[in-house]
Copies of this chain bind each other. A is one copy, B any other.
């Protein structure tokens, strides 16, 4: 499993990601061609598509991983915690990850945010990724609390939480805020959404 083949593939993947992000940063997403990305990684254009399904997908190279983490957290659950509390701690965890910038360099995160806010195609991709993630999380939450939460209720909860946070953050992003201010916004938006669940049971 750790043969030369695997290592080479990982290296090529990294090279493609780095080439792409650098070019996107320098010249913008639209103005960068796949040919240039591939050239930067020293592979043929065709090869790009055996690593990523589309030009947009390079930008979200680590999203699947992160989604799995979130899912496993909801799947594990925590004895004695209500669904609302579990979701609240999910938000806390996500904030902690982002502050800790574990694997992703901070520049990557900033670049990604800028690109997503700027380029319509990337915004669209981000929204569908987020949407799919929410569906998966709702399903997981429902399974974790099978007796208490119907699938619809779980979906409503997850949708309300993410919808609230997403829109509040974006609406508050015009002026360039500090990270702390953004975290505050996240928490306030999450509270508004979670209050609904708590007040209903």
Q: Which residues of A contact B (CB under 8 A)?
A: 120, 123-125, 127-128, 131, 134-135, 138-139, 151-168, 170-172, 185, 188-189, 191-200
Beyond known contacts A160-B196, A162-B163, A199-B199: 11 more, CB 8 A cutoff: A124-B128, A153-B168, A153-B188, A155-B167, A156-B188, A159-B166, A160-B164, A163-B166, A163-B193, A193-B196, A195-B200
Main secondary structure on A side of the interface with B = helix
A196 to chain B, nearest CB (A): 3
A195 touches B195 (CB 8 A): yes
Closest to A163 in B: B163
Q: How far is the CA of A163 from the CA of B168 in the complex (A)?
A: 12
Nearest B residue to A131, CB-CB: B127
What's the least CB distance linking A72 to chain B, in Å? 20
* Cα separation A194 to B198 with both chains bound (whole Å): 12
The 7 closest A-B pairs by CB, nearest first: A163-B163, A159-B167, A196-B196, A155-B171, A159-B163, A160-B164, A195-B196
* CA of A192 to CA of B152, assembled, Å: 11
Q: CA separation between A185 and B120, bound complex, in Å?
A: 31
